[in-house]
Amino acid sequence: MAIDQRLLPLHSARIRRAEFPAGYFKLGDAGLIAGAIAVVCILSILYLAQTGRVATAGYRLQELEQQHTELLREAEQYEYRIAQASRLDAIAARAQALGLRPATSEQQRYTTIEVPAVAVVATSN
Amino acid sequence: MAQLSAPQRTPVTRVRINVLLLAVACITILLAQQLVKIQVYQELKGRQLGELAQNELTRHDVLQPRRGTIYDRNGVALAMNVNMPSLYVDSTKIKQPEKLALLLAPLINKDPAEVLAILSDKEREWTRLARWISTDAAQQIETFTAGGDFGDGVWLIPEAQRAYPQGEFASRIVGVANHEGVGISGVEAYYDEEIKGITGKLQAERSGSADQQPIWIAPKEIIEPQDGIAVKLTIDSTVQKLVEDELRRVVEEQQAEGATILVMEPSTGEVLGMASWPTFDPNKYTEYEPEVINRNNALTDAYEPGSTFKVIVAAMGLQTGAFTPETTVPDTGVIRRYGYGIGNWNRAGNGNLTPGMMLYHSSNVAALLFGEMVGRDDFYKFVKLFGYGQETGIDLGGEGVGIVNWPEDNPDGWSDLTLDTNSFGQSIAVTPIQHLTALSAIANGGLLMWPHVVKEKCEGTRCTPVQPRVVRRVVDQGVTDALRSMMTKNAEHYANLIWGPSTGNWKDQPLVPGYRVSAKTGTSQIAVNGVYDSNSVIGSVVGFAPSDNPRVSILVKIDRPKRAQWGIEAAIPVYHRVVTKLMSHFRIPPDPSYVSEGQVIGGPR
């Protein structure tokens, strides 16, 4: 069966365009320049917006890094204070301040703890 | 309808056009010439100008890595990094310098006049007044400068400082990293390459703000710094504290010139405690003489081991089969060799002595005879096998090798008399770490272990243990079993020094009630300008405990004690206290049956 080309959508659109005056869709020189300027402006605005966002994010990142550094310094200070507080001299002094004293040899008691025998259950496959 | 006529055009003469073209051409040529001059011929070429411009915008920073923390075996920090505030001033922006100087001086421990001189010098725009001040002082400075009464020329800037929160504690082992962050002694120096880390680099455009922080629109290059590794030492803080306390006590009591106490785990070679006198505070290392900071007496000091070396002679004889535990030699008190009379400490004889009784009586004559039975070749072969005259390889810098007069290296200086005197620990010098490592081989069944102070190395959360290393087998288990028995009897022989005054029992008895311990003492003379000084000695003890399954081996060495006539009187009480406390610390149950009349387990205090 033969196909009527005129019924196809692309073909019919081409026919419709051909009905417009010649040069209807063509831009003049001024139009081209105006269009180019518009495109450059839009791209510039997009670029500036993007750059602004990156810069803002950069400053935020910088602030966070600064916070991170300060927190690390704070953590270091705490670690240092913990290490100082872990000095055996300091612990002994604190214990004595609490009224504790080293056990004398007479006070030491040794107890032997009998460990109950553990039953071993043999298994086989 | 009126028609607009076209505007009448004014004719332009050809001359005018040519003049205009000429002017434009001239201007263009001038511009081109300038362009070529700048871009090609000028001293600063275009590329250089570009780089200069870029450098104005770009910030180059070195990113410092964090120096690794040093911990003891239980995770207590011994050396760490802390950012402490440093005080900077810009004198051109300071108001009321006189008042400010008076306020600052006491907080930074400086003379007010000195501070005022700096604050008043308007030529100085940026001066560091004090480095690493305390946080309390920094807070006070912040408080009184916050109102702006003194201008805005005072700055507190955090600067990384290597801090030693335990002060003098274990300073000989930990060592020091200087203000530039370079390890100069101890573990800090030995492991410096691994602890210091690798610097990084940041290259980025900077902001126009005063702090010139990098902005992140186009970071060009960031190489992250690699932090240094953290190391965990084999040092047990409780053991270290114990030996440091005992060290301080004996130096004070005996008015000794120096002392060293070493504690090692014989089965692994791990050093559990190491203390030498004098000590130093690494936080203030600039206040000490360099030799105090750089020298670890336990590794560097060579001394004659004296009678403690007789244990080694007994070991080599039993191992080579030169004699057995039952072999006897006649101890006549004095013996003549090569024209010299060599005698015991009291020049009294003790009859026929076995190796065990040679140790018991600490007989020089018997040791000499046993040494001769071993013979020159085997004697020095075992001296070498036990590690004398060479570095132990401990992971600390500055280790000495002692002095051994090897017959093959020094045929002119060595004589048969050298062998004889070496047999009772004279004419040979050892370092404390060498001697304890050798003794640990007897304690652990005959294996010479590599002594070390680092137990683990950690990168972040990933830790790699440092494995104990057997250097070589020196003697057989049977030999060490025999020696341990001899040395236990020896320890009982010294016990009356400790217990006699309180119990009235001056006979042999347990040195540490409840625990069989091994010990051998030595009193060494000190050679000064080639002659033994008759007025001063080194008292020492080596031993291990418990004898049957040693948990620790110990060396106590006291230099020139003033109160005790013999070194043993100074060293044995220290050894007794150290062993007693260590047995309790390691929770080793005592044997209640191994107690003599009047003795108390854990005593006397």
Which of B395, B71, B443 is CA-nearest to residue B264? B443
- B587 has a pLDDT exceeding 50: yes
Task: With beta carbons under 8 A apart, name residues in chain B contacting A108.
Answer: 584, 601-602
- A65 has a pLDDT exceeding 70: yes
Residue B411 to residue B414: CA distance in whole angstroms: 5
pLDDT per residue over B174-215, tens digit each? Answer: 999 998 889 999 999 999 999 999 988 877 776 666 556 666
Are B582 and B602 in contact by the 8 Å Cβ rule? The answer is: no
The pLDDT assigned to B579 comes to 96
- B216 has a pLDDT exceeding 50: yes
A78, A107, A108, A114: best mutation site toward chain B, by most B Cβ within 10 Å? A108
pLDDT per residue over B463-484, tens digit each? Answer: 999 999 999 999 999 999 999 9
- B536 has a pLDDT exceeding 60: yes
Give the number of other CB atoms < 10 A from CB of residue B173. 27
Arithmetic mean of pLDDT, B481-489: 96
The pLDDT assigned to A124 comes to 43
Sign of dihedral through CA atoms B564, B569, B572, B573? negative
Task: With beta carbons under 8 A apart, name residues in chain B contacting A64.
Answer: none
pLDDT per residue over B106-152, tens digit each? Answer: 988 889 898 898 888 888 778 888 888 888 888 899 888 888 788 88
The pLDDT assigned to B410 comes to 78
B213, B224, B512, B585: best mutation site toward chain A, by most A Cβ within 10 Å? B213
On the question of a cis peptide bond just before residue B468, with omega within 30 degrees of 0, the verdict is no
Which distant-in-sequence residues (6+ apart) come within 8 Å of A101 by Cβ? Answer: A95
Quick one: which H or E segment has residue B251? helix B237-254
- B134 interfacial to chain A (CB closer than 8 Å): no
- A64 has a pLDDT exceeding 80: yes
Percent of chain B whose predicted confidence (pLDDT) is above 70: 94
Percent of chain A whose predicted confidence (pLDDT) is above 90: 22
CB contact under 8 A, B83 and A76: yes
- More confident call, B527 vs B476: B476
3-state class of B466 per DSSP? coil
- More confident call, B124 vs B597: B597
Q: Partners of B543 in the beta sheet?
A: B519, B554
pLDDT per residue over B63-105, tens digit each? Answer: 888 899 999 998 999 999 988 888 988 888 888 888 888 989 9
Q: Which of A77, A88, A108 sits opposite B135 (nearest CB)?
A: A77
The pLDDT assigned to B42 comes to 65
Q: Return the beta strands (E) in B332-487 as ranges.
A: 334-337, 340-343, 351-353, 447-449, 454-459, 462-465, 470-473
* Burial tier of B113 (Cβ tally within 10 Å: 0-12, 13-18, 19+): exposed
Placement of tokens 């311990």 in the chain: B517
Quick one: which H or E segment has residue B161? strand B154-163
- A3 has a pLDDT exceeding 70: no
Which distant-in-sequence residues (6+ apart) come within 8 Å of B416 by Cβ? Answer: B337, B338, B376
Structure tokens at A40: 């450059």
Task: With beta carbons under 8 A apart, name residues in chain A contacting B165.
Answer: 80, 83-84, 86-87
Residue B112 to residue B400: CA distance in whole angstroms: 47
Q: Are strands B183-185 and B200-205 parallel, antiparallel or unpaired?
A: unpaired
Which distant-in-sequence residues (6+ apart) come within 8 Å of B228 by Cβ? Answer: B65, B66, B67, B68, B194, B195, B196, B197
The pLDDT assigned to B92 comes to 86
Among B residues 226-285, those touching chain A with beta carbons less than 8 Å apart? 237-238, 241
Placement of tokens 């007789």 in the chain: B310
Q: From the CA of A89, how many Å to the nearest CA of chain B?
A: 9
Task: With beta carbons under 8 A apart, name residues in chain A contacting B603.
Answer: 105-106
Task: With beta carbons under 8 A apart, name residues in chain A contacting B238.
Answer: 88
The pLDDT assigned to B44 comes to 57
Structure tokens at B19: 């003049």
Arithmetic mean of pLDDT, B587-601: 88
Residue B518 to residue B274: CA distance in whole angstroms: 20
ipTM score for this prediction: 0.73
On the question of a cis peptide bond just before residue B278, with omega within 30 degrees of 0, the verdict is yes
Q: Which of A58, A59, A80 sits opposite B80 (nearest CB)?
A: A80
Q: Which of B27-36, B201-210, B320-329, B393-402 has the weakest average pLDDT?
A: B201-210
Residue B273 to residue B271: CA distance in whole angstroms: 6
